[in-house]
A and B are shown apart, each in its own frame.
Chain A
Amino acid sequence: MSARISFLKNPDPCNHLSGYKLRYGTDGYKSFQSLFSCFNDGRIKIKLREIEIPRCSYCSVYQKRLYICLFCRSISCSSHILLHTQLNKGHDIAIDVERSELYCCACIDQVYDPEFDEIVVSKQLVGLGMSVKSGADVVAVRSNKKRRLDSQLIIGSKFLVSPRDRREKWSFPLGLRGLNNLGSTCFMNAVLQALVHAPPLRNFWLSGQHNRDLCPRRTMGLLCLPCDLDVIFAAMFSGDRTPYSPAHLLHSWWQHSTNLATYEQQDSHEFFISLLDRIHENEGKSKCLYQDHEECQCITHKAFSGLLRSDVTCTTCGSTSTTYDPFIDISLTLDSANGFSPADCRKNRYNGGPSVNATMPTLSGCLDFFTRSEKLGPDQKLNCQSCGEKRESSKQMSIRRLPLLLCLHVKRFEHSLTRKTSRKIDSYLQYPFRLNMSPYLSSSIIGKRFGNRMFAFDGEGEYDSSSSSPPSAEFEIFAVVTHSGMLESGHYVTYLRLKGLWYKCDDSWINEVEEEVVRGCECYMLFYAQEKVIQKAHKELSYQVISMAEAFPFANC
């Protein structure tokens, strides 16, 4: 059963509530305003008289859940509320005394009305000495975003949102918001969704480390993509759930990449690389960080930069030359012939899981292919130091250092120079939600070649040499960009994993989806993060909200 929750609507009022609203509007609610009593922890109760203990008018209990009738103000307990409605025709709507929440006696269930909540909230705000605009205009107030993102400060508590949006805000993770398609810009939207929810990037921008009001480039009138991203992050996490149009970023990106400034569909991966590149340029330059990519501390590199090791071996004498190159993502060849990994087959049989189709490509198969020992052709002879002349050689790639965020790009678009045609490879690629990268690290790859001799491989898998925690090769997936359709006229969609649940981001439309949907999609870009990054993000993005009280934790802020 796919849990598709309507993203943009409040729960519909029942007939009784609609009927009540038609007849009485908000007068009934307003008449209760004087009775709302606010408490420190954000709760709002109804108090008839100061010290009095409310009791059911039928059975005198005070210990049960009590409701006060909107029409006659008589109090009934949950056992007698139905009786009250039956005895008094038309007395359908009541308010929970302890919580100030609406209840429909005829439906025997809680009901919701944003206008009621507005009235309750305005009482609360008045109590706190904050100025309130009348009725529907409680504005979004943004507190100082420049404060560092403290794990204790839950983002929701920094913002007051328009009551109209409150219900959606409570049900969904923070930062989840649709992006409007501005004319074949789904390639951009897809990447933006993944980046907005990448914890290191999210933290960087939300903690104000690139603030558009303080950016020197922008004050000089220069283009600055990180500033445009600052606007986007603020908008995504504002609590407003109406779809957002990232027009500024699109415009700025066009100005940087004029050759791609058309309304045609672009390649999402190309956009991803160029965007990260621009961020590095802007961040690096304005903050005088190292030019050398390997040491660069800009957010692009801190998050995505890893180190590849390339070993070229002379097939004649066996001597190897090793070089290191940084990378911000890995592009994997998808060829049905190479994707299949024997390891997957064996594993599945032991676990009693479904037997893997021997010809179905898997991600591990692609990674195996990437790190295979490749015989270079006779026309690619390289100069061997010890032999003193050009010899045939073999090359092998491995990962020397893993990044915090690992982006795996599946090469589905094949451009053949000889035939001057392009085609899209549609084959399904099986991929895991949890990925262990140890088999692809240099230590494993090189070790396998020499029969597991002891080698010193310091700092492998570490993203921060000063960190005291041991390097980890365990990754968890947090975003998947998929492409469906044909080369020229396809569509990009992103699946995001937030707190264990999957959300489909299709331009303006966001829906919660089941895991199976994501597993079965045609993946194009896979975004993995080191498991400790995910774990830390879980703690930061708490959104446990049940009642209004928690949405407005004014206490001890």
Chain B
Amino acid sequence: MKHSVNRPPTPDEDDASEGFEKDEVTLREIINVKLVESGEKENLMELVRDRLVECGWKDEMRIACREHVKKKGRKDVTVDELIRVITPKGRASVPDSVKAELLNRIQNFIVSAAL
């Protein structure tokens, strides 16, 4: 049996993920900056908006908001509250096709911008 004493200490779970995340954040930021600079970000935003309207997602969200307001009463709801309540539903119900298309576009962009 090998001695465990000489083995380097197992890094803390927190440290590891933090380090990993830090790199990811920087990379994400770089991509974002490139997207904004080239104007591709705006195109992508418009694309996503169009797709979400087409597939009825926007209507679904509007109905969900209405229902929430009906439940709480008009006077008691704030925009912040609506955002807080509806966002998880919204994220969960975005169709996979939309996600796939967006991912594809971003990938193509990264390749073409030779990052």
Given contacts A51-B37, A108-B80, whether A546 and B62 have CB atoms under 8 Å apart is yes
Complex Cα distance A65/B79, Å? Answer: 12
A262 within 8 Å of B by Cβ?
no
Interface centre among B36, B59, B70, B80 (most CB of A within 10 A): B80
Chain B: minimal CB distance from A11 (Å): 10
Given A41-B46, A544-B62, A546-B62, A51-B79 contact (CB < 8 Å): no
Q: A39-B42, A544-B62 are in contact. Are A109 and B80 (CB under 8 A)?
A: yes
Neighbouring B residues of A103 by C-beta, 8 Å: 79
Given A51-B37, A546-B62, A78 contacting B80 (CB threshold 8 A): yes
Structural contact, A110 and B79, CB atoms closer than 8 A? yes
B17 at the interface (CB under 8 A from A): no
Contacts A78-B80, A110-B78, A544-B62 supplied; 12 other A-B pairs, CB < 8 Å:
A39-B42, A39-B46, A41-B46, A41-B49, A51-B37, A53-B32, A62-B32, A78-B83, A103-B79, A109-B78, A109-B79, A546-B62
Pairwise interchain contact B59-A544, C-beta atoms closer than 8 A:
yes
Interface residues of B in 46-66 (CB under 8 A from A): 46, 49, 58-59, 62
* A546 partner residues in chain B, CB cutoff 8 A: 62
What residues on B are CB-neighbors of A3 within 8 Å? 70
CB A103 to nearest CB in B, in angstroms, measures: 8
Interface residues of B in 62-95 (CB under 8 A from A): 62, 70, 78-80, 83
Q: Which residues of A contact B83 (CB under 8 A)?
A: 65, 78
C-alpha gap A533/B12 in the complex (Å): 68
Complex contacts, B80 vs chain A, CB 8 Å? 78, 108-109
- Hey, what's the 0/1 contact readout for B25-36 against A, CB within 8 Å counting as 1? 000000011001
Closest to A11 in B: B74
Chain B contact surface mostly:
helix
A window 44-98: CB within 8 A of B: 51, 53, 62, 65, 78
Chain B: which residue is nearest A78 at the CB level? B80
Query: Closest residue to A81 on the B side, CB-wise?
Result: B80
A53 and B33 within 8 A (CB): yes
CB-contact partner of A108 in B36, B49, B59, B78, under 8 A: B78
List 4 tightest A-B contacts by C-beta distance, closest first: A109-B78, A110-B79, A51-B37, A108-B80
Residue of A nearest to B65 (CB): A546
Output the nearest chain B residue to A5 by Cβ-Cβ distance: B74
Given A108-B78, A544-B59, CB of A53 within 8 Å of CB of B46: no
- 9 A-B residue pairs with CB within 8 Å: A39-B42, A40-B46, A41-B49, A62-B32, A78-B80, A103-B79, A107-B78, A108-B78, A109-B79
**Residues of chain B with a CB closer than 8 A to A544's CB:** 58-59, 62
Q: Please give, as numbers and ranges, the residues of chain A lying within 8 Å of B37 by CB-CB distance.
A: 51
Tell me the complex Cα distance, A556–B52, Å: 18
Q: Which residue of B lies closest to A39 (CB)?
A: B42
Residues of A within 8 A of B70 (CB): 3
Which residues does chain B contribute within 8 Å of A41, judged by CB atoms?
A: 46, 49
Cα-based distance from A110 to B58 in the complex (angstroms): 20
- Asked if A53 contacts B36 (CB within 8 A), the reply is yes
Query: Beyond A39-B42, A41-B46, A544-B59, is A51–B78 a contact (Cβ under 8 Å)?
Result: no
Q: Which residues from 278 to 316 on chain A have a C-beta closer than 8 Å to any C-beta of chain B?
A: none
| Contact in complex: B36, A51 (CB < 8 Å) | yes
Q: Which of B58, B70, B79 counts the most chain A CB atoms within 10 A? A: B79
Q: Which residue of B lies closest to A41 (CB)?
A: B46
- Residues of A contacting B49 in the complex (Cβ-Cβ under 8 angstroms): 41
Q: Which of A94-132 contact B (CB under 8 A)?
A: 103, 107-110
Tell me the complex Cα distance, A78–B83, Å.
11
Q: Give the CA-CA distance A109 to B49 in the complex, in Å.
A: 24
Of A53, A78, A107, the most chain B CB neighbours within 10 A belong to A53
Q: A151 to B78, alpha carbons, bound, how many Å?
A: 35
Chain B hits for A62, CB < 8 A: 32
CA distance A92 to B3 in the complex (A): 64
In the bound complex, CA of A107 to CA of B80 (Å): 10
Chain B residue contacts of A110, Cβ below 8 A = 78-79
Q: How far is the CB of B27 from chain A (nearest CB, A)?
A: 15
| Distance (whole angstroms) from the CB of B48 to the closest CB of chain A | 12
CB closest residue in chain A, given B33: A53
Min C-beta distance of B25 to chain A, whole Å: 11
- Chain B residues within an 8 Å CB radius of A53: 32-33, 36
In the assembled complex, the Cα of A65 lies from the Cα of B82 at a distance in Å of 13
With both beta carbons as reference points, the residue of chain A lying nearest to B78 in the complex is identified as A109
Q: Which residues of A contact B62 (CB under 8 A)?
A: 544, 546
Chain A contacts for B79, CB-based, 8 A: 103, 109-110
Q: With a CB–CB cut-off of 8 A, which chain A residues contact B32?
A: 53, 62
Cα A546 to Cα B83 with chains together (Å): 14
Interface string of B1-42 (1 = CB under 8 A from A): 000000000000000000000000000000011001100001
Residue of B nearest to A101 (CB): B79
Cα(A544)–Cα(B61), bound, Å: 12
Closest residue of A by beta carbon distance from B73: A1
In the assembly, what is the distance between CA of A107 and CA of B46, in Å? 31
Q: Give chain A residues whose Cβ lies under 8 Å from the Cβ of B59.
A: 544
